[in-house]
């Protein structure tokens, strides 16, 4: 719906540094505050460029319904130096479509089922390793589980030493990821080896070193495998040239980065809310108890477990807004936005809309059993042509890990104090590691 009508912009907060910092610190409060002060949509002049933000279903429908060719990825100049050139996050046009087509089979149908048993085994083994501890830090446990799962999925994961090196290096990369690195290119500055940029590059270099070892080993052997690394190593560009090493690095780092912290945070929130909401906990364990067994297939098709995962992602969208940069003008409601501006469906605004979700502050999985929500009301994985490629994989993984632990074991929260969302990098997570006490077998 491109148009040549004169530019007409919504209002919004003044300046760019202060609003960007507010968005980094507390995105939900900032976005809700601006929406009520300036109306929805509103204009945010963020450090990475001007963005028109909306939580309205009708406008999100317009944004996600456009021809993908009118959009470029947002903040490429900031993301490319972090991930490297060739990351799906910053590819656009035909190379983006092609890369998604190449990867899609890894995340669907039979391949997914094949991952189930290894996901479950990984969750049980990792829990066993910390079961004797007085306090189990949920976030640490879930990070260990999700990292092992993603590393095994990407690399096939038969070589234990390689798996363990990659896990440690990926963890370092995520732990060193200061939010500012993602919100402003100007933060990419070296300072005697101690700046966030220096730390990121050091961790990235270490990870790339391990990736090179794995790629070299794989390319020198007949064992091609069916993992993401094998797909990338044997893929070619349109002209038949093999994909460059830099491109493979960027894509592997993107998958390691996007594919583990997100699931670990969601699992941690799910454990937190279930142990603070006796009614929700009871409904879930009754459903799990009634299962004949906890095979991944059975867990994945358990309605209340699925609803628990959905509600967790509604209350705590890990990414609070998704962004697209306009290559041509766009009419959005009564506004006409120029090329160069970005549009952002604000997931957190849509998920807390009281006319869609009754008592949106409440954690209530049953709402996802009672009715369904449109992809413009509920979008923890974004939408349109950039919707998270790992969405089905992540939902499956979270259900298997949560279901396997809660069917077999009982826990309680160590601390009754509320846990609140806190910025990590582009992601939002819990303000504590959510310590749990292991009570016993169920």
Nearer to ligand HEM, 314 or 407 (CB): 314
Closest CA to 333 of 45, 67, 63: 63
Among 183, 255, 335, 376, binds ligand HEM (CB under 6 A): 255
Say whether residue 253 binds ligand HEM (CB under 6 A).
no
- Would you state the structure tokens that stand for residue 115, as one six-digit string? 């991952």
Say whether residue 351 binds ligand HEM (CB under 6 A).
no
Say whether residue 390 binds ligand HEM (CB under 6 A).
yes
Could you tell me how many residues of this chain bind ligand HEM (CB under 6 A)? 25
Among 53, 83, 119, 394, binds ligand HEM (CB under 6 A): 394
Nearer to ligand HEM, 71 or 335 (CB): 71
Q: Answer yes or no: are the C-beta atoms of 250 and 83 closer than 8 Å.
A: yes
Q: Answer yes or no: are the C-beta atoms of 197 and 181 closer than 8 Å.
A: yes
Nearer to ligand HEM, 13 or 207 (CB): 207
Phi-psi label, residue 122: left if phi above 0, alpha if psi -120 to 50, beta otherwise: alpha
Place of tokens 């095994």: 152
Shortest Å distance, C-beta 14 to ligand HEM: 27
Nearer to ligand HEM, 39 or 109 (CB): 109
Among 322, 356, 377, 425, binds ligand HEM (CB under 6 A): 322
Compute the distance between CA of residue 353 and CA of residue 359 in angstroms, rounded to an integer: 9
Residue 418 vs residues 212, 277, 303, 430: alpha-carbon distances, Å: 43, 12, 27, 10
Shortest Å distance, C-beta 157 to ligand HEM: 14
φ, ψ for residue 441 (rounded to 5)?
-80, 150
Shortest Å distance, C-beta 350 to ligand HEM: 12
Shortest Å distance, C-beta 207 to ligand HEM: 16
Say whether residue 343 binds ligand HEM (CB under 6 A).
no
Nearer to ligand HEM, 13 or 154 (CB): 154
φ, ψ for residue 120 (rounded to 5)?
-65, -45
Nearer to ligand HEM, 131 or 422 (CB): 422
| Contact pattern from residue 264 through residue 303 relative to ligand HEM, giving x for each residue in contact according to CB under 6 A and a dash for the rest | --x-------------------------------------
Nearer to ligand HEM, 385 or 437 (CB): 385
Say whether residue 319 binds ligand HEM (CB under 6 A).
yes
Say whether residue 88 binds ligand HEM (CB under 6 A).
yes
Say whether residue 437 binds ligand HEM (CB under 6 A).
no
Among 10, 383, 403, 421, binds ligand HEM (CB under 6 A): 383
Residues in 147-176 that interact with ligand HEM by CB under 6 A: 150
Residues 6+ apart with CB under 8 A from 159: none
Q: Answer yes or no: are the C-beta atoms of 307 and 298 closer than 8 Å.
A: no
Nearer to ligand HEM, 12 or 390 (CB): 390
Shortest Å distance, C-beta 141 to ligand HEM: 16
Compute the distance between CA of residue 9 and CA of residue 38 in angstroms, rounded to an integer: 12
Say whether residue 349 binds ligand HEM (CB under 6 A).
no
Residue 427, Cβ neighbours under 10 Å: how many?
A: 22
Say whether residue 78 binds ligand HEM (CB under 6 A).
no
Nearer to ligand HEM, 12 or 259 (CB): 259
**DSSP line for 113-156:** HHHHHHHHHHHHHHHHHHTTSSSEEHHHHHHHHHHHHHHHHHH-
Say whether residue 262 binds ligand HEM (CB under 6 A).
yes
Say whether residue 231 binds ligand HEM (CB under 6 A).
no
Shortest Å distance, C-beta 150 to ligand HEM: 6
Shortest Å distance, C-beta 435 to ligand HEM: 22
Q: Answer yes or no: are the C-beta atoms of 206 and 172 closer than 8 Å.
A: yes
Which residues does residue 73 pair with via DSSP β-bridges, in sequence order? Answer: 324
Residues 6+ apart with CB under 8 A from 62: 1, 332, 333
Which residues does residue 45 pair with via DSSP β-bridges, in sequence order? Answer: 50
Compute the distance between CA of residue 233 and CA of residue 217 in angstroms, rounded to an integer: 12
Residue 353, Cβ neighbours under 10 Å: how many?
A: 15
Compute the distance between CA of residue 396 and CA of residue 386 in angstroms, rounded to an integer: 20
Residues 6+ apart with CB under 8 A from 48: 20, 74, 75, 78, 183, 184, 185
Kindly list the residues in this chain that would bind ligand HEM in the complex (CB under 6 A): 88-89, 100, 150, 254-255, 258-259, 262-263, 266, 318-319, 322, 380-383, 386-390, 393-394
């Amino acid at each position: 719906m491109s148009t040549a009508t004169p530019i007409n912009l919504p209002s919004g907060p003044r300046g760019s540094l202060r609003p960007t910092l507010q968005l980094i610190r507390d995105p939900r409060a900032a976005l809700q505050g601006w929406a009520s002060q300036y109306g929805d949509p509103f204009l945010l002049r963020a450090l990475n460029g001007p963005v028109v933000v909306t939580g309205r279903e009708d406008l999100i429908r317009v944004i996600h319904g456009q021809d993908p060719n009118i959009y470029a990825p947002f903040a490429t100049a900031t993301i490319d130096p972090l991930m490297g050139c060739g990351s799906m996050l910053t590819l656009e046009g035909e190379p983006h479509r092609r890369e998604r087509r190449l990867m899609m089979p890894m995340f669907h149908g039979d391949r997914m089922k094949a991952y189930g048993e290894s996901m479950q085994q990984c969750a049980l083994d990792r829990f066993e390793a910390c079961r004797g501890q007085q306090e189990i830090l949920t976030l640490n446990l879930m990070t260990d589980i999700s990292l092992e799962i993603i590393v095994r999925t990407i690399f096939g994961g038969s070589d234990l030493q390689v798996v363990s090196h990659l896990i440690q290096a990926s963890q370092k990369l995520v732990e060193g990821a200061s939010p500012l690195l993602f919100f402003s290119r100007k933060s990419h500055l070296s300072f005697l080896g101690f700046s966030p940029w220096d730390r990121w590059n050091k961790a990235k270099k270490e990870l790339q070193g391990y990736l090179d070892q794995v790629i070299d080993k794989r390319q020198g052997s007949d064992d091609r495998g069916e993992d993401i690394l094998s797909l990338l190593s044997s893929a070619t560009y349109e002209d038949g040239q093999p994909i460059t090493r830099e491109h493979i690095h960027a894509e592997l780092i993107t998958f390691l980065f996007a594919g583990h912290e997100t699931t670990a945070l969601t699992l941690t929130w799910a454990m937190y809310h279930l142990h603070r909401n006796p009614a929700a906990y009871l409904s879930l364990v009754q459903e799990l108890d009634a299962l004949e067994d906890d095979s991944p297939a059975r867990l994945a098709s358990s309605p209340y477990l699925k609803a628990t995962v959905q509600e967790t992602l509604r209350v705590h969208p890990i990414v609070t807004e998704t962004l697209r940069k306009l290559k041509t003008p766009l009419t959005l409601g009564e506004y006409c936005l120029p090329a160069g501006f970005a549009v952002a469906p604000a997931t957190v605004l849509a998920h807390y809309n009281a006319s869609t979700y009754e008592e949106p502050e409440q954690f209530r999985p049953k709402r996802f059993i009672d009715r369904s929500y449109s992809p413009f009301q509920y979008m923890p994985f974004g939408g349109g042509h950039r919707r998270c490629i790992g969405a089905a994989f992540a939902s499956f993984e979270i259900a298997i890990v949560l279901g396997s632990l809660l069917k077999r074991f009982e826990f309680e929260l160590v601390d009754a104090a509320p846990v609140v969302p806190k910025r990590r990098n582009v992601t939002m997570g819990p303000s504590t590691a959510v310590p749990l006490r292991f009570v016993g077998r169920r």
